[in-house]
A = this chain, B = another copy of it.
Amino acid sequence: MAGLSQVAWTWQIKDMRHLFLAAVAAASFALPIQAQDPAPILSPGEIAHAAKADEWIAIAPSDLLIMDLAPDAKGKPRRVVIQLMPAPFSQGWIGNIRKLAAAHWWDGTSINRVQDNYVVQWGDATEKKALPAGLVGVAEAEYVVSRSDAAGWDAARAMQSSAPIIPDPYAASQALWGWPVGHGKDGELWPVHCYGMVGVGRNMSPDTGNGAELYTVIGHAPRHLDRNIALVGRAISGIEHLSSLPRGTGALGFYEDAAERVPIQSIRLASELPAEDQPRFEYLSTESDSFARYADARQNRRDPFFIKPAGGADICNIPVPVRAVRAK
């Protein structure tokens, strides 16, 4: 190994922060990199940023769940926005969640569990709060969607994705219709547990949970939960208000002291808010040309920081780009 002089090191240290900034910008959705040749190699984030307007799909306010936690210790508001999955995925549980939100059932409940590299979980810590009428039980069969169900949902878009299908140790995986999904050998599809995905806590099988007890992933993708618990959406804004909470010191990260729980002020569908108060988000169509280029760039990083492109990426490392059109 060649030794570098102290002078060289001093220079490197001086510029390290600046250049590490530039370097990591290429590794995430961040600042544009200064192109250094006439045909710039775009980072994945830059490719998404440059996508055409009609490649972005608006998320309906009725598919946005707005969770307002109590303000933090400095009085700053803490809002988490969750996008609910569209048909054909998990609609039984999502129907329950719409009813729970409409009934304002979560207001006054709390975040009760924060387990490092795993999940944040919320719901009624007293386990005594009466549920609204009309919730349904959902069968385990609904953890997966058959190919025919899926095609029936939107024949024009079904199975026409240009996004790659990537074999991984769990399943052939793909970004499809805006979501990370697994493909079964018999043509089933199911959503997968990536960072930020929101799921439904449940009892032992055959119970599948009713949607009142929810969790979000705050660590490495726990893909062993795929097809074993219902996924209903993903946090698209404000997940840092969950992922940075103190870890619970009880078993499985439950808070041992009730005072540690983080109060939930309210959970609402955005469609219940006055139109001018509704946040607006869009996601990059996973069936678009720009998404195909973005996915390729996530698999083969060619932007300046990288020396050896990986030659692949798992589905949770190709997150679907989401942008706020109007933050609220």
Which residues from chain A sit less than 8 Å from chain B, CB to CB?
1-4, 6, 8-10, 12-17, 19-25, 27-28, 30-31, 73, 92, 112, 114-119, 121, 123-125, 127-131, 133, 135-140, 142, 166-171, 194-196, 201-205, 207, 209-210, 212-213, 219-228, 239-240, 243-247, 251-252, 254, 298-299, 301, 304-314, 316-317
Contacts and interface: CB of A to CB of B under 8 A. Distances in A.
Given A19-B203, A220-B194, A169 B170 contact: no
Contacts of A251: 21, 25, 30-31
A212 to B, nearest CB: 7
B311 A170 contact: yes
Contacts of A207: 12, 19
A196 B118 CA distance: 13
A297 B325 CA distance: 44
Give the one of A16, A169, A309 with max B CB within 10 A. A169
B247 A246 contact: no
Interface centre among A209, A305, A316 (most CB of B within 10 A): A305
Nearest to A112: B17
Q: Which of A129, A213, A219, A312 has the most CB of B within 10 A?
A: A219
